Structure 1
Amino acid sequence: MTNKNEMIVPLLPLRGLLVYPTMVLHLDVGRDRSVQALEKAMVDDHLIFLTTQKDVSIDDPSEEDIYRYGTLTKVKQMLKLPNGTIRVLVEGLKRAEIETFYDEEEYYSVQILTYEDSETKDIEDQALMRTMLEYFEQYIKLSKKISAETFASVADIEEPGRMADIIASHLPIKLKEKQEILEIIDVKQRMNYVINIIHNEKEVLNLEKKIGQRVKRSMERTQKEYYLREQMKAIQKELGDKEGKTGEIADLTKKIEEAGMPEHVLQAAMKELDRYEKVPSSSAESAVIRNYLEWLISLPWSKKTDDDINIQRAEKILNEDHYGLEKVKERVLEYLAVQKLTNSLKGPILCLVGPPGVGKTSLARSIATSLNRNFVRISLGGVRDESEIRGHRRTYVGAMPGRIIQGMKKARTINPVFLLDEIDKMSSDFRGDPSAALLEVLDPEQNHNFSDHYIEETYDLSKVMFIATANNLATIPGPLLDRMEIISIAGYTELEKVHITRDHLLPKQIKENGLSKSTLQVRDDAILKIVRYYTREAGVRNLERQMATICRKTAKIIVSGEKKRVVVTEKTVEEFLGKPKFRYGQAETEDQVGVATGLAYTTVGGDTLQIEVSLAPGKGKLVLTGKLGDVMKESAQAAFSYVRSKAKELGIDENFHEKYDIHIHVPEGAVPKDGPSAGITIATALVSALTGKPIRREVGMTGEITLRGRVLPIGGLKEKTLSAHRAGLTKVILPKDNEVDIEDIPESVRSELQFVPVSHVDEVLKHALLEGDAR
């Protein structure tokens, strides 16, 4: 390969076209500068330089817009067409490179350096030519777009460089790749590059052929399936089975599309539907898939109720349905207010804790009504299998979703009020821990992707308002408790019970027993007597039963014709309910030695406990009876040790533990008792028994004791205070740290009790013991 010479010739930029040396082709020229360049070439020596534009959209290219390498060509013919363009026949002569670019007024001209291919041909050139020809022949057979005559004409070429150029001009490659071939001056390199390109094109054609065959087979299979389905429809029609599985598939498809499922669930449902279509109806698998699809269709995926956020209306509904319970109502109204401002709030997870019968479940129903949401309730009492929450896998016989998904199906919307009743009654065994499965349900950060073993696809629970109910927080695992907002509902006062009975329980029972307000009237003094002498509870469940008894007896009286109207007063209550079942008030009738009244918190609310201490000659033996738990036994030991350490200051014989056996007893022994609040009560009873000083009968007390005599705080003060009030006590001794809890106690109870906050046992004894020795 040798450089020829430098020359200056006119420039003709080409759009989307490239000319190799030795090629002859027609061009249509229409741009003014290009026409002027052609005319200049015709005047001089018919030589013109052709190069390709980098961007075909540019009408007036500059030096930067064209490739530096091109082809020096000779203009063979030039013909002006009627539309103003010029058709020209050119023949490529040599490769050339632009050295200098001249911008004339009417056209561009360039100084170029031309190149010629070497005429000598070695063995490597011959080998490359043969390979290139062989590849080109294989390519022609695969593509079937190039004629055999073209291959014959290429095979007759003897110059290696020219053969590479001609083959490149016939390949369906991009213009940029053709330009790269044009810029390769070395013939061996050019042939190697063309060989690689032909090889790649052969691979692409082979792949296209495989894809085409695959598509053809798929189309044939689809056509075959269509033909068979049409045949099946015809057979079903002849047999009178107009619907068959085909109609069922169409019906299921429509239901799936209308269910509003998320994309990933929709894809899973359609995949299962495709399986269902192929599985024979007689197969057991068919019923399993059908059942699964029915569950997917029946679940709410996008349907929801619009929250009717009207604070005044919600407050009115809550007040109509429930008397008192101010904290719970306030929390619900706060949620509504925030929801109205943000319009997007994750459902809160509330846990209503309180004794039986205080209205936890009915309160949850009222919350749903005030929110204008659907209400669904599931009971978790006695659940001990994790699958009850998460569902069973479909591989098991009789598998079904867990209670959460079942509840969502009943709710029919994605934003119901969902009540988890008796969450503290769950247990665990070898089948798993259901409370652990609830951790995902009750976590606002996780429950948007709740996974049920049966459904398999994730389900969004983030818009559900979960409300749990419990009697005792002690039995709820810590991690589960941490996910819930605890709202305590204490027992009702006597006045509240009277109000609830008059406005809610009695009208309900009158209606259920076929009576009316004109046929039965129960006066407030009668209701108060029933509360005091016929029930002993924190809630109102037994109270409602007593009202039902009165209504039934009234119905009998009216039906038998004895009376047309019944009025129940304080004096006539015994005619309906018999003799009083309970003694109103637990306060002692007189001050006694060694008997102290303690306040306790139980699962049914607050209660009072009489703690008795008796002394007998002996050797210092300490006996504890009354079915006490470990915590109360420790409290008794701590109180005993404190009294021993302070014996001299308290005026007690320092060797009393060597002279007396001490028996500490809590009556009603069959009832289990435990909790860290009996310490000061036991200590007071001990000191009273050892000093002979009576304990004031009107005093109730609660608080834990340390060995140094400090009084520690306790829980459940509201419930304990209500029990003290119910028992007729007038003074309550409580730990100093619990002073802030006094505000939670209803005003009607606070006004009738004297509260004495204490921080040391000395203060307790000062307020609880009378002076003088009653022995």
Structure 2
Amino acid sequence: MDNKGYKSETRTIPLIPLRGLSIFPYMVLHFDVGRDKSINALEEAMVNDSLVFLSSQKEASVDIPGPNDFYHIGTICKIKQMLKLPGDTIRVLVEGINRGKIKDIIQEEPYFEVEIEEIVFEEEIKKDQKTEALMRMILESFEEYAGVGNKISTDVLLSVTEIKEPGRLADVIASYVYLSPENKQKILEALHPYERLEILEVILRQEIDILKLEEKISQRVKKQINKVQREYYLKEQLKAIQHELGEDEDILDEVEKYKDKINEIDMPEEVKEKALKEADRLMKVSASSAEAGVIRSYLDWIIELPWDNETEDTVDIKNSRKVLDEDHYGLTDVKERILEFLAIRELAGSLKGPILCLVGPPGVGKTSIARSIGTALNRKFVRMSLGGVRDEAEIRGHRRTYVGAIPGRIISSIKKVGSKNPVFLFDEIDKLSGDFRGDPASALLEVLDPEQNSTFTDHFLEVPFDLSKVMFITTANSTSTIPGPLLDRMEVIRISGYTEEEKLEIASRYLLPKQMKDHGLKEKNLQLSNNTIREIITKYTREAGVRNLEREIANVCRKTAKKIVEEKVSSVRINSTNLQKYLGIPRFSYDVINEEHQVGIARGLAWTTVGGDTLSIEVTPMKGTGKLQLTGKLGDVMKESAMAGISFIRSRVEEFKIEDNFYKDKDIHIHVPEGAIPKDGPSAGITMATAVISALSNIPVSRNVAMTGEITLRGRVLPVGGIKEKVLAAHRAGITKVLLPWDNKKDIEEIPDKVRRKIEFVFVKTMDEVLDHALVKEDGSN
């Protein structure tokens, strides 16, 4: 016995390197030998005492190992059995005897022969309480390992518990436990039994933890597999039931197709989850039931909506300006607003779609400019007419509980156009109305709010759809019938009526070429001068827009085409002399200035839905009892303006040199011609007051003067609207001086320069200034 606690004996025996295997003393192992060196070593061992030294290779992949490719501590084994297999391979059965340590490699060819130091412990002498305690721990751990792993039989456990030697116990247990080659070598190299037990205890605890984790994972996987198997079994049963019911369509395949399509689309998780849930529901209902039809319709809508499809904006301001100018003449404010939007889009990279509301009379191009905006932005265009819409479901859709339910027209239009960022036109938004089916205007509040429409929820879809990238444009003839909260969400751009000059430009640039093309006429076939077009504008149309003008031009083209075909002529010239042959007797004639100054007749200016007009207000005083009579289908506001003017005149009778008791002795009759046309508003206040003062004082009103403005009891002149249209009407009638309220001075900028140069504008603050310019002085001036 030496100082290391073991005795040693030197042997010289053959060596066989093992690939991926380790053997312990007391362990029986069989393995196949195929390498020439190993076979030679085996034959040499069988010739002598059947002893061979087995050591593990450090790397199993090395085919021809050298002295440094295997561990120098291994096991001395006795060959028990050899069996020759086909292909020059020998199967060997060996039994481990003792550990051995290579002291010297005697030869490498034709086989490894090594000098071994055989290590044998006197284990009975070394066994103590500490070792006994460790042995018990090892046995408990081995039992736990056997219980968790379920790979070791009860007989093995019983046989192991009977081993009393510490070193042998460690080796036997190590031979039954699944260990990595490194851990096996670590135990093999632990020469002292106590050290060997300690190493094995640590490794056993690690292996137990790993086995527990494996078991946990295995249970989870098994549970999932069982669930999949259960679902498969149920689906197969469902198929069989459907087949027995005569339902030929394979619901399962249909549902899988729906799921594949849903997963392919980049949609919000909330929407995807809802759609997949509905697809699962489809499997649980009968294929021929009404519910299945509703679910299919729902899934089709979800799949076909452009969740991840949008067009790329063309951010080119110069090109956009060119497109807008080519399509429309004038409309500067609208064009500038669109170009501003594009400029901000280019600088900021993104911008929530603005909500524009184009307000103006019929026929001025509100709808067509919305279409041009789509072209300028390279966006798709959608138009939805709101005229007469009474049902809220038109906007938000029907709930799926109703038979024949469909999404609202907004979602339907988005699906049809196939883009989530089109230009969307709500036409005639002022014509919305509500009834027992709900209020569509209220339903539009969410749609037309840039802060809210990113989560617009249609009743049919029941999931939010992002409308924030849509550019909404609305049109209206008047803002008076648009609910306040809805109007507040929109940016109002007012489009006033066209001037005569603008109509002339539009007709010659756009309308005439378009109608000639539509009627098959070439440029040489019809000669229509600008003067003739001007005559059509003034004598055959009375409108703010150009819709009727286009109809009249179409009428001319039709008759021209007929004449060319019927009379075989190649060209038709239309001028002022023969225009009546094509369009008939002129339907309209505008007021013109009177031939001379007249008492009691003042020229007022009025705004109508078809542009501006002039009003000749007539006043006749008569003997009577102070009655005031108003005729001409006047509204309440206009009647009140007349009363305010009379009260102002009564307070200033001395200055105006009017009889003190005129309000007692005379009846005053105020009449506004064209009595069949309703008239209202305060803007005729100063005109009626001027006409009454002229009639009572017998001073004529200048024939060259027209006026507009509201009058107060104290004679102040207040501002009014529609200045541009009113001034254009005055210019058309030949008026050379126009009296306007002082606060309307800013509105002159809207009037074309050509008109401004021909009219003298006088801005008045009081009725005295009005009279100073309107009444003819004694020397005949005004």
TM over 0.5: yes
Q: List alignment gaps of at least 5 residues for structure 1.
A: 1-78, 94-139, 153-206
1:492 and 2:501 are equivalent in the alignment:
no
Alpha-carbon distance in 1 for matches of 2:754, 2:533:
18
Judge conservation of contact 1:505–1:544 (CA < 8 Å) in 2.
Answer: yes
Q: In the TM superposition, what is the alpha-carbon distance from 1:748 to its structure 2 partner?
A: 1.9
Judge conservation of contact 2:627–2:666 (CA < 8 Å) in 1.
Answer: yes
Judge conservation of contact 2:544–2:609 (CA < 8 Å) in 1.
Answer: no
State how 1:531-546 maps to structure 2 within 5 Å.
531-546=537-552
1:260 equivalent in structure 2? 266
From 523, 534, 550, the counterpart of 2:529: 523
Q: In the TM superposition, what is the alpha-carbon distance from 1:246 to its structure 2 partner?
A: 4.1
State how 1:84-483 maps to structure 2 within 5 Å.
218-228=227-237, 244-483=250-489
Q: In the TM superposition, what is the alpha-carbon distance from 1:603 to its structure 2 partner?
A: 2.4
Alpha-carbon distance in 2 for matches of 1:673, 1:89:
125
Q: List alignment gaps of at least 5 residues for structure 2.
A: 1-98, 103-120, 132-145, 159-215
2:768 equivalent in structure 1? 762
Judge conservation of contact 1:680–1:701 (CA < 8 Å) in 2.
Answer: yes
Change (3 A) 1:435 1:220: same
Change (3 A) 1:299 1:770: same
Change (3 A) 1:541 1:654: same
1:553 equivalent in structure 2? 559
Q: Deviations over 1:615-672 (max 9, x none)?
A: 2222222222333333222222221211111222211112111112222222333333
Superposition CA RMSD, Å? 3.6
Q: In the TM superposition, what is the alpha-carbon distance from 1:574 to its structure 2 partner?
A: 1.3
SS in 2 for 1:473: coil
Q: In the TM superposition, what is the alpha-carbon distance from 1:533 to its structure 2 partner?
A: 0.9
Q: In the TM superposition, what is the alpha-carbon distance from 1:210 to its structure 2 partner?
A: 12
Change (3 A) 1:208 1:325: closer
**Could you tell me which amino acid in structure 2 is paired with residue 632 of structure 1?**
M
SS in 2 for 1:582: coil
Alpha-carbon distance in 2 for matches of 1:691, 1:257:
88
1:506 and 2:512 are equivalent in the alignment:
yes
Change (3 A) 1:561 1:643: same
1:577 and 2:586 are equivalent in the alignment:
no
Q: In the TM superposition, what is the alpha-carbon distance from 1:261 to its structure 2 partner?
A: 2.1
Q: In the TM superposition, what is the alpha-carbon distance from 1:214 to its structure 2 partner?
A: 7.7
Q: In the TM superposition, what is the alpha-carbon distance from 1:382 to its structure 2 partner?
A: 1.4
**Could you tell me which amino acid in structure 2 is paired with residue 223 of structure 1?**
Y
Change (3 A) 1:80 1:320: same
Judge conservation of contact 1:415–1:465 (CA < 8 Å) in 2.
Answer: yes
Q: In the TM superposition, what is the alpha-carbon distance from 1:488 to its structure 2 partner?
A: 1.3
Q: In the TM superposition, what is the alpha-carbon distance from 1:492 to its structure 2 partner?
A: 1.3
**Could you tell me which amino acid in structure 2 is paired with residue 425 of structure 1?**
K
From 657, 666, 671, the counterpart of 2:663: 657
Alpha-carbon distance in 1 for matches of 2:416, 2:218:
55
Judge conservation of contact 2:405–2:460 (CA < 8 Å) in 1.
Answer: yes
**Could you tell me which amino acid in structure 2 is paired with residue 723 of structure 1?**
A
Alpha-carbon distance in 1 for matches of 2:464, 2:246:
43
SS in 2 for 1:376: strand
Judge conservation of contact 2:683–2:710 (CA < 8 Å) in 1.
Answer: yes
Alpha-carbon distance in 2 for matches of 1:649, 1:669:
33
Alpha-carbon distance in 2 for matches of 1:488, 1:553:
37
Judge conservation of contact 2:247–2:287 (CA < 8 Å) in 1.
Answer: no
Alpha-carbon distance in 1 for matches of 2:662, 2:362:
45
1:642 equivalent in structure 2? 648
**Could you tell me which amino acid in structure 2 is paired with residue 400 of structure 1?**
I
Alpha-carbon distance in 1 for matches of 2:458, 2:565:
55
Judge conservation of contact 2:591–2:614 (CA < 8 Å) in 1.
Answer: no
**Could you tell me which amino acid in structure 1 is paired with residue 729 of structure 2?**
S
Alpha-carbon distance in 1 for matches of 2:128, 2:366:
98
Judge conservation of contact 2:740–2:762 (CA < 8 Å) in 1.
Answer: yes
SS in 2 for 1:475: coil
Judge conservation of contact 1:379–1:421 (CA < 8 Å) in 2.
Answer: yes
Q: Deviations over 1:254-305 (max 9, x none)?
A: 4333443222111111111221232212211122222222222222212111
Alpha-carbon distance in 2 for matches of 1:605, 1:359:
15
The alignment-based identity, stated in percent, is: 57
Change (3 A) 1:480 1:528: same
If the length of structure 1 is used for normalisation, what is the TM-score?
0.71
Change (3 A) 1:674 1:148: farther
> How many residues are paired up?
596
Q: In the TM superposition, what is the alpha-carbon distance from 1:546 to its structure 2 partner?
A: 0.6
**Could you tell me which amino acid in structure 1 is paired with residue 695 of structure 2?**
A
Change (3 A) 1:208 1:720: same
**Could you tell me which amino acid in structure 2 is paired with residue 339 of structure 1?**
R
Judge conservation of contact 1:351–1:468 (CA < 8 Å) in 2.
Answer: yes
**Could you tell me which amino acid in structure 1 is paired with residue 500 of structure 2?**
E
Alpha-carbon distance in 2 for matches of 1:232, 1:401:
34
Q: In the TM superposition, what is the alpha-carbon distance from 1:219 to its structure 2 partner?
A: 4.0
Alpha-carbon distance in 1 for matches of 2:264, 2:605:
60
**Could you tell me which amino acid in structure 2 is paired with residue 346 of structure 1?**
K
SS in 2 for 1:663: strand
Change (3 A) 1:626 1:403: farther
Judge conservation of contact 1:625–1:666 (CA < 8 Å) in 2.
Answer: yes
Alpha-carbon distance in 2 for matches of 1:754, 1:631:
29
